[in-house]
């Protein structure tokens, strides 16, 4: 099953153009998203009534939810909250009206996410429950009113890779459907659909950076700590990059929104601290660049994945890996890929059990 790949994780990283294509397939019409993808006949009518969204998930799936909030709130007037299921399930929430509950899970069997869904069904009179899930025959799909399946195919590596990027694609589809249900500008919807079609080719281009990222990885093997920075919807991508590095290479990594640096973490920065940053050409790029200068002037070693149009030039302590120019809305998906590859290669160089990292299980079915 591994074919020419050394690990399932690498195979699954390289499968992403296909898994993204599969998640889009039969779901896009010429200029809009087909509501039938939610598996019910009145999906648009239901979404039209939604006044609030609550997303619940764990781990990597939680990071997908965080990106989803940026997207949904940027493009609709629907407020969206995101919380880790293990917290949500044990605290009181005020009763809600017309709220859409969205769970996100690769396995569909994560105990905390399932328990949060049960709690919602018992206590909150949700308008509807929707799961974004990768396993059709799972408890979450069975227990939810609607299911938006990610078509990643089986994911064997404990570290979630293709499941995550297809969850992001699913959240894009959900966002566009919400826009359609709420009567958004048709030209805007059509532009988003056109951009989504570019995604598999963009991912292919980034996978070509693999040899360069492998070389870069050598610089991390002696490190005990790393910081990941991002802004806006790239902040959850920094969180995901940090989780991947922790999970498979056992290097302590933390993510910060770049604007938070001077509120504390800047004190950690010295020449021993690698700082990984994702810098697409978004509205926040200029702000991010000044955050990078703050780090450099304190001797930090910067690794920046940057849009080739961002004009971030390599220098002492500043390593730049050029990324293709991507539509702003797709940046979180495309910038996930180099961070997956980086953690993969660091783990291989360190000799850890990449597909089965210590102490972890693929599916966390107990609390
Ligand atoms: O199956 P799920 O998506 O519900 O799993 C949630 C987390 O356990 C999972 O994403 C975990 O964080 C991954 N090992 C991260 O790579």
pLDDT at 167 over 80: yes
Work out the mean pLDDT of the chain and round it to a whole number: 94
Residue 297 alpha carbon to ligand 1 centre in Å: 37
Query: Model pTM?
Result: 0.97
Mean pLDDT, to the nearest integer, of 3-8?
A: 95
pLDDT at 125 over 80: no
Tokens of 329: 């809305």
* Exposure letters 40-75 (e unless 16+ CB within 10 A, then b): beebbebbeebeebbbbbbbbbbbbbbbbbbbbeeb
Task: Give residue 153's region: left, alpha or beta (phi > 0; psi -120 to 50).
Answer: left
Per the annotation, the verdict on 287 as an active-site residue is no
Q: Are 63 and 83 in contact (CB under 8 A)?
A: no
Mean pLDDT, to the nearest integer, of 184-205?
A: 97
Task: Say whether 256 sits in a helix, a strand or coil.
Answer: strand
Q: Which of 212, 289, 350, 362 is catalytic?
A: 362
Cβ neighbours of residue 263 closer than 8 Å, sequence gap 6 or more: none
Residue 62 alpha carbon to ligand 1 centre in Å: 8
Q: Which residue has the tokens 């399946």?
A: 149
Mean pLDDT, to the nearest integer, of 215-219?
A: 96
Confidence of residue 221 (pLDDT cuts 50, 70, 90): very high
- CA-244 nearest atom, ligand 1: 16
Radius of gyration of the chain (CA): 20
Cβ neighbours of residue 352 closer than 8 Å, sequence gap 6 or more: 248, 249, 250, 358
The Cα-based distances of 70 to 25, 59, 78, 272 in angstroms read 24, 18, 11, 33
For the stretch 283-317, pLDDT in tens is 878 888 888 888 888 888 999 999 988 888 898 88
For the stretch 103-120, pLDDT in tens is 999 999 999 999 999 998
Residue 265 alpha carbon to ligand 1 centre in Å: 27
Q: Give the whole-angstrom CA distance, residue 175 versus residue 121.
A: 23
């Amino acid at each position: 099953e591994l074919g020419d790949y050394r690990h399932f994780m690498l195979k699954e990283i390289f499968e992403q153009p296909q898994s993204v294509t599969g998640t889009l397939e039969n779901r896009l019409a010429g200029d809009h998203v087909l509501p039938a993808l939610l598996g019910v006949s009145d999906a648009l009518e239901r979404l039209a009534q939604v006044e609030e969204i609550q997303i619940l998930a764990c781990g990597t799936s939680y990071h997908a939810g965080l990106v989803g909030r940026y997207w949904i709130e940027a493009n609709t007037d629907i407020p969206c909250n995101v919380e880790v299921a293990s917290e949500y399930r044990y605290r009181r929430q005020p009763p809600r009206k017309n709220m859409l509950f969205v769970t996100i899970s690769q396995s569909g069997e994560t105990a905390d996410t399932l328990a949060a869904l049960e709690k919602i069904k018992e206590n909150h009179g949700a308008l509807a429950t929707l799961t974004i899930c990768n396993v059709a025959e799972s408890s979450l799909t069975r227990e939810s009113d609607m299911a938006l399946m990610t078509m990643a195919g089986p994911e064997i590596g404990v570290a979630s890779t293709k499941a995550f990027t297809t969850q992001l694609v699913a959240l894009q589809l959900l966002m566009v459907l919400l826009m359609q249900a709420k009567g958004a500008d048709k030209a805007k919807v059509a532009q988003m659909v056109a951009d989504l079609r570019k995604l598999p080719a963009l991912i292919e281009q980034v996978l070509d950076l693999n040899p360069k990222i492998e070389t870069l990885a050598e610089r991390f093997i002696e490190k005990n700590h790393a910081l990941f920075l991002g802004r806006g919807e790239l902040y959850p991508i920094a969180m995901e990059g940090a989780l991947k590095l922790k999970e498979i290479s056992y290097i302590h990594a933390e993510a910060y929104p770049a604007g938070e640096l001077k509120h504390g973490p800047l004190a950690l920065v010295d020449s021993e601290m690698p700082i990984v940053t994702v810098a697409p050409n978004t509205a926040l790029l200029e702000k991010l660049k000044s955050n990078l200068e703050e780090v450099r002037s304190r001797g930090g070693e910067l690794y920046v994945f940057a849009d080739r149009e961002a004009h971030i030039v390599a220098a002492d302590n500043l390593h730049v890996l050029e990324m293709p120019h991507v539509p702003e809305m797709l940046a979180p998906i495309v910038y996930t890929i180099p961070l997956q590859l980086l953690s993969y290669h660091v783990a291989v160089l360190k000799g850890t059990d990449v597909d089965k990292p210590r102490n972890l299980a693929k599916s966390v079915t107990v609390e």
